[in-house]
């Protein structure tokens, strides 16, 4: 059996976003332009009694009342990891927030810290 190693140095992404203490206040236009999202992680381990929803918007200045393009669930006391192999396209901008409800204009801030990590290009 042959063994082959690929040593290509092409970067997978150009934007790494880490938000410690994410809330219902949107972090707007985090990539500075249109983006393609490949990976997401929501660390909700510090909230043993609260589920969290990560809401992602294709809008430069959304509010909690805006309709998200993608909503991702993370159970209490857990880490949610989300993979988009072909990429999720945000043609305008990528903006995010977390809330305790998946509904538009509903949900409160998490009781304890939630950390969001995103890899986008």
Class of domain 15-120: mainly beta
Phi–psi pair at 83, nearest 5 degrees? -120, 135
Burial of 52 (0-12, 13-18, 19+ CB in 10 A): buried
Angle 94-118-42 (CA atoms, 0-180°, nearest 5)? 115
Please tell me the pTM assigned to this model: 0.85
Under a CB-based contact definition with an 8 Å cutoff, are residues 35 and 27 in contact?
A: no
CA 113 to chain centre: 15
User: pLDDT at position 57, please?
Assistant: 95
| pLDDT value for 59 | 93
pLDDT per residue, tens digit, the chain (121 aa), is 455 545 555 566 567 889 898 888 889 998 889 999 999 999 999 999 999 999 999 999 998 888 999 999 999 999 999 999 999 999 999 999 999 999 888 788 999 999 999 999 8
DSSP state of 59: S
**For position 1, what pLDDT does the model report?**
47
Measured CA to CA in angstroms, residue 118 lies from 2, 31, 33, 43 at distances of: 36, 10, 15, 12
Domain range summary for the chain, segments of one domain joined by +: 15-120
């Amino acid at each position: 059996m042959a063994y082959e190693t690929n040593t290509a140095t092409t970067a997978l992404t150009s934007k790494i976003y880490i938000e410690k203490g994410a809330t219902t206040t949107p972090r707007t236009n985090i990539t500075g332009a249109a983006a393609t999202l490949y990976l997401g992680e929501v660390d909700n381990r510090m909230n043993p009694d609260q589920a969290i929803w990560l809401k992602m918007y294709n809008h430069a200045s959304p509010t909690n009342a805006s309709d998200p393009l993608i909503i991702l669930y993370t159970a209490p006391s857990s880490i949610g990891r989300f993979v988009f192999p072909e990429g999720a396209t945000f043609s305008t901008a990528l903006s995010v927030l977390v809330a305790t409800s998946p509904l538009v204009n509903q949900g409160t801030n998490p009781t304890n810290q939630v950390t969001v990590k995103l890899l986008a290009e």
